[in-house]
Structure 1
Amino acid sequence: MYHISKDKRAKKSAELVYQGLLTCLKHKNFDQITVTDLQKASSVARTTFYRAFDNISDILYWKCDLCFQEVLGSFKEEQFANEMELVRQYFSYWMGHKDILELLMKINRYDMIYSCHMNAALTVQKKIRIPPGYARNTQQLFSGHPDRIYN
């Protein structure tokens, strides 16, 4: 699990570690990367790494969670009146942040994408009131069954 505090320095260190991971991936497969490799690539101390993350996979969980929270958290109640606007906003966001999705797909971690999406979707559902008549489709979408939305 990752443990990133709200402190600016902690967030900056986590981002440096993520960027270091991207650098390491240019030369090694994900499963061959060590904390020492990340330390060298990111210039973040080993203790700082372990203060923020338990293992290297946690870096990906953190970044993926962060992205899904950002995109889904940006939705406003009034936007649910226009599904196409929601879809446009969602895909527009991911076009600018595709590196994390491509990386997770490359290392066959679709489970992380799903898990992070579901966690963020549940958080959004608790924060906003979904308009009447829209709830059925939205709940199915958020529950991970988009194939059943219009059936």
Structure 2
Amino acid sequence: MNGEKRIRIRQVNETRKTIVEALLQLLEKNKLSELTIEQVTRRAGYARRTFYRHFDSLDDVLTYEIDRNTKTMFETISAIEQLKFETMVEVFFYFWQAHQDLLSILNSNHRLYLIENSWLMNLDKSPLSHDDLKTDRYAQNFGLGGMYFMMMHWVNGGFTESPSEMKLVAERIRRHLI
């Protein structure tokens, strides 16, 4: 890749990052339904046309940020050697514990479902897409659905359980299913 292309990619990523940060800052005090693209671009220091070069809507900005986190989460889990179910669940909740602000914003704006959508769209990067589950879409969707609803309950409960406690909950469920 030539130098100009690298510079352009870096500029695009920086612009997207700035727009995401502006939206998330505004969502700390405002509902998504009350915000406009103009407010976000003003906060980010860009013109509306710059926004539309990178995103289609405010939901698209959230989806971009969630996808970025989803890919990182799957990479983190996949990097663990001898991955066991309990370890995967614990790492999963440690990862999302570090992103509680984002989860709270999504939840208060009725957009938590965007996370499940992202997981499904990026399933090929998931640990569930390896080994014996690689072609079993039912098992993959069952696993992701279970994790999503556990996370949803955890978010709605105010993140009171630690990742270690969530690991125990998941293990109890797994034993019950066996």
Task: Please confirm whether the aligned pair reaches a TM-score higher than 0.5, indicating the same fold.
Answer: yes
Identity score, percent: 21
TM-score, length of structure 2 as denominator length: 0.66
CA contact (8 A) 1:79 1:85 kept: no
Q: CA RMSD in A?
A: 3.0
Which residue among 60, 81, 91 is the counterpart of 1:78?
A: 81
Map Cα deviations across residues 110-151 of structure 1 (whole Å, 9 max, x no partner): 32121012222333358x63268xx89963313x24698625
Instruction: Show the counterpart of 1:129.
Output: 130
Alignment match, 1:113? 115
SS at match of 2:122: helix
**Matched positions, count:** 141
Structure (1 or 2) with the greater helix fraction: 2
Question: Take 1:138 and 1:77, find their aligned partners in 2: how far apart are those partners?
Answer: 21
Q: Name the CA distance, whole Å, in 2 between partners of 1:101 and 1:36.
A: 24
Q: Which runs of 4+ in 1 moved over 3 A?
A: 76-79, 135-138, 145-149
Provide closer, same or farther for how the CA distance between residues 138 and 19 of structure 1 changes in structure 2, counting only shifts above 3 A.
same
Q: Is the 8 A contact 2:28 2:105 kept in 1?
A: no
Q: Kindly indicate whether the alpha-carbon contact (under 8 Å) linking 1:39 and 1:45 is maintained by their aligned counterparts in 2.
A: yes
Provide closer, same or farther for how the CA distance between residues 145 and 92 of structure 1 changes in structure 2, counting only shifts above 3 A.
closer
Which amino acid is the alignment partner of residue 76 of structure 1?
A: A
- Would the aligned equivalents of 1:17 and 1:49 in 2 still touch at CA under 8 Å? yes
Q: CA 1:137 to 1:16, structure 2 compared with 1: closer, same or farther past 3 Å? A: same
Question: Aligned partners of 1:40 and 1:136: how far apart in 2?
Answer: 43
Give the Cα separation in 1 of the matches to 2:138 and 2:131.
Answer: 10
Separation of aligned partners in 1, 2:31 and 2:37: 14
